[in-house]
Amino acid sequence: MLNVLIWLTGALVVASAVSWDMRRLRVNRVDFHAPAWWALSARAWPLGIPAYLLIRPKVRREVIASVWHYVGDASTPAALRRRRLLALHRNELVADAIFEECLRQLDADESTHSPTSHAQRVHKDE
């Protein structure tokens, strides 16, 4: 009886963690929908942990790629891309961590593609 209780507790913890992380990433599925992860956890929760951890980085990259699809690429003006990214985040379509990563990439792109080089800015400040 104790083994069953431990198994069910482990399954509940793993399935809850996967569901929470999927909600935090704002995705409906990480290769499987949440109910399938619950079923997998109930059947083999120790295997669900590494399976999810192996799949998650790919899903994160796909989410970031989809954000850039809607925001635009380098040919789109940076100000417009920033407004689009902020709109996606404000409407809770992009998770905080994904938003911050995309914002860092956007800031890096702006600094490398700015009309004045770093040397010109340093000289101007002196």
8 Å CB contact between 27 and 63: yes
Q: Would you list the domain boundaries of the chain?
A: 2-125
Burial per residue of 79-93, b for 16 or more beta-carbon CB atoms within 10 angstroms, e otherwise: eebbeebeebbeeee
The number of C-alpha atoms within 13 Å of 55 and in the hemisphere containing its C-beta is: 16
Find the radius of gyration of the CA atoms of the chain: 21
Q: How far is CA 60 from CA 53, 99, 100, 101, 115, in A?
A: 11, 12, 13, 11, 32
Q: How far is CA 6 from the centre of its chain?
A: 31
pLDDT in tens, 4-43: 899 889 889 999 999 999 999 888 888 888 888 888 888 8
> In this structure, what are the phi and psi dihedrals at residue 30, rounded to the nearest 5 degrees?
-125, 85
Task: Specify the length of the chain in residues.
Answer: 126
pLDDT in tens, 36-45: 888 888 888 8
Per DSSP, 92 falls in state T
| Mean pLDDT confidence for 86-113 | 91
pLDDT band at 77 (very low <50, low <70, confident <90, very high): very high
Q: What is the value of pTM for the model shown?
A: 0.76
